[in-house]
């Protein structure tokens, strides 16, 4: 999902848990919920990558919501994806009400296959659900020497610029570019802040910065609880609104998915603990760099650009200049080695889920002396 989720407001991280232990927990929950064996790693990767990248609103915080969606029959744990279209470089997939976090990765892989044969591959998806952190999807293309793009729609939680009606989602989108080092990943949404970030703030300090949201009456608010009952605002005012509409057209209109205004909004409730069925769409595109120029030359030029950006003189209060995704990449490397940060709220949610599923082993909290880095 979104770069602006980084460092979630009032996350209150007081736990640090081994990444391998969390991966095992997510995998075990996925298996208990009936996920096919080949989907379990996609499920675990999608959730763990969010926490490792410092985006806790899309990490294991969501595990219980997903699990209850599976167990209550709202989300299909064993989707059979149907493919439509016969043009060489494009397809449409019906996600069979599967979890978008998994369906999106499968769609990305299909776009990669099409790009390997045709130079570019585009896959629209309909009848899917929450797609999680989008970096997970696009990175699959970058590690194969391709440029990846992914966008999705979701329940309407944002008003078009100048309106106070919830008609569009925050339209998350992401790009990934191969380089001579780690892929360059741009992962963000078209809102001033992600709603998951406001949800966590509502459970903690209750405060958010002005400019993030409107209350139910369409007034600007700094009250996170009031914001949960209202709307998020687009980033960059009319520009963010225009981008959100453009990405909704790509994700929903191109594949025939539901428009955001027609998607159930129960999951947006501040007390929601279960993911419901959305019927939303995604759009995944892979560009084979080698179809246009040698990959090594492309990567060298990307590295040249990255070096120029990072070595440029910082302005004002900035200590350094960074490429998109640098903060998340540092976080992933540090937390992968030292343990993942979890808030007390997230740990409590995981313990509740553990009891619901009859799992025996509670999470192990790393000693304070190991809680360094990240």
Q: What are 87-124's pLDDT values in tens digits?
A: 999 999 999 999 999 999 999 999 999 999 999 999 99
Q: What is the pLDDT of residues 295-341, one digit of tens each?
A: 999 999 999 999 999 999 999 999 999 999 999 999 999 999 999 99
Examine the pLDDT at 205 and tell me if it is beyond 80: no
What b/e readout covers 236-266, taking b as 16+ CB neighbours within 10 angstroms? Answer: eeeebbebbbebbebbbebbebbbbbebebe
Q: Distances in Å between the alpha carbon of 49 and those of 24, 44, 133, 176?
A: 14, 8, 8, 15
CA distance linking residue 40 with residue 344, whole number of Å:
26
Across the range 131-157, mean pLDDT stands at 97
- 285: confidence class by pLDDT, cuts 50, 70, 90: very high
> What average pLDDT score do residues 184-193 get?
95
13, β-bridge pairs: 343
Res 222 pLDDT > 90 = yes
C-alpha–C-alpha distance, residues 241 and 165, integer Å: 13
Q: What pLDDT sits at residue 202?
A: 85
3-class DSSP state for residue 251? Answer: helix
- Count of positions (residues) in the chain: 374
User: How many other CB atoms are there within 10 angstroms of residue 360's CB atom?
Assistant: 5
Whole-number pLDDT of residue 112: 98
Confidence of residue 267 (pLDDT cuts 50, 70, 90): confident
Q: Does 374 score more than 70 pLDDT? A: no
User: What is the Cα–Cα distance from 11 to 21, expressed in whole angstroms?
Assistant: 21
- Helix axis angle, 63-71 to 19-32, nearest 10°: 10
Q: How confident is the model at residue 213 (pLDDT cuts 50, 70, 90)?
A: very high
Predicted confidence (pLDDT) at residue 370 exceeds the cutoff of 60: no
Residue 4 has pLDDT above 50, yes or no: no
Strands of the 146-152 sheet, one edge to the other: 82-84, 90-94, 120-128, 280-288, 146-152, 173-177, 184-188
pLDDT at 8: 37
Please report which confidence band the pLDDT of residue 372 belongs to, taking 50, 70 and 90 as the band edges.
very low
Tokens representing 83 are 């493919």
Of residues 197 and 264, more confidently modeled: 264
User: 13 falls in which pLDDT band (50, 70, 90)?
Assistant: low
* Whole-number pLDDT of residue 197: 81
pLDDT class of 270 with cuts at 50, 70, 90: confident
Residues 78-94 pLDDT 10s: 999 999 999 999 999 99
| Average pLDDT score over the chain | 92
Domains of the chain as residue ranges with CATH: 3-297 (3.30.1370.60)
pTM given for the model:
0.92
Q: Are strands 213-214 and 82-84 parallel, antiparallel or unpaired?
A: unpaired
Would you call 223 helix, strand, or coil by DSSP?
A: strand
Q: Which of the pair, 193 or 83, is modelled with greater confidence?
A: 83
Residue 63's pLDDT is: 97
Supply the pLDDT for residue 204: 76
The H or E element containing residue 307 is helix 295-310
Structure tokens at 212: 């993030």
* pLDDT over 80 (residue 39): yes
Ranking 11-15, 17-21, 178-182, 266-270 by mean pLDDT, the lowest is 11-15
For 127-143, what is the mean pLDDT?
97
pLDDT at 368: 63
């Amino acid at each position: 999902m979104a770069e602006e989720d980084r460092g979630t407001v009032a996350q209150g991280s007081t736990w640090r848990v081994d990444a391998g232990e969390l991966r095992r927990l997510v995998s075990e929950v996925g298996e208990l919920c009936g996920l096919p064996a080949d989907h379990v790693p996609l499920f675990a990767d999608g959730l763990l990558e969010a926490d490792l990248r410092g985006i806790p609103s899309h990490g294991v915080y969501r595990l219980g919501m997903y699990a209850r969606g599976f167990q209550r029959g709202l989300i299909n744990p064993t989707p059979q994806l149907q493919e439509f279209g016969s043009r060489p470089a494009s397809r449409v997939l019906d996600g069979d009400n599967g979890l978008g976090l998994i369906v999106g990765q499968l769609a990305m892989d299909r776009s990669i296959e099409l790009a390997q044969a045709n130079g570019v591959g585009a896959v629209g998806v309909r009848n899917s659900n929450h797609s999680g952190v989008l970096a997970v999807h696009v990175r699959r293309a970058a590690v194969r020497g391709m440029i990846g793009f992914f966008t999705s729609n979701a329940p309407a939680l944002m008003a078009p610029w100048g309106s106070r009606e919830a008609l569009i989602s925050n339209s998350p989108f992401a790009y990934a570019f191969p380089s001579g080092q780690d892929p360059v990943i741009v992962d963000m949404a078209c809102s001033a802040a992600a709603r998951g970030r406001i949800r966590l703030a509502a459970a903690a300090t209750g405060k958010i910065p002005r400019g993030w949201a409107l209350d139910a009456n369409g007034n600007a608010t700094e009250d996170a609880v009031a914001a949960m009952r209202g709307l998020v605002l687009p980033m960059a005012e009319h520009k963010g609104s225009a981008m959100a509409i453009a990405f909704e057209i790509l994700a929903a209109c191109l594949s025939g998915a539901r428009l955001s205004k027609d998607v159930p909004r129960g999951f947006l409730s501040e007390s929601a603990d279960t993911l419901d069925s959305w019927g939303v769409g995604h759009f995944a595109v892979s560009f084979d760099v080698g179809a246009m120029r040698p990959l090594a030359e492309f990567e060298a030029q990307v590295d040249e650009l990255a070096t120029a950006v990072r070595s440029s003189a910082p302005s004002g209060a900035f200590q350094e200049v960074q490429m998109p995704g640098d903060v998340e990449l540092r976080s992933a490397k540090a937390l992968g080695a030292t343990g993942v940060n979890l808030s007390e709220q997230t740990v409590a949610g995981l313990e509740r889920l553990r009891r619901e599923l009859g799992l025996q082993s509670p999470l192990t909290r790393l000693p304070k002396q190991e809680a360094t880095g990240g």
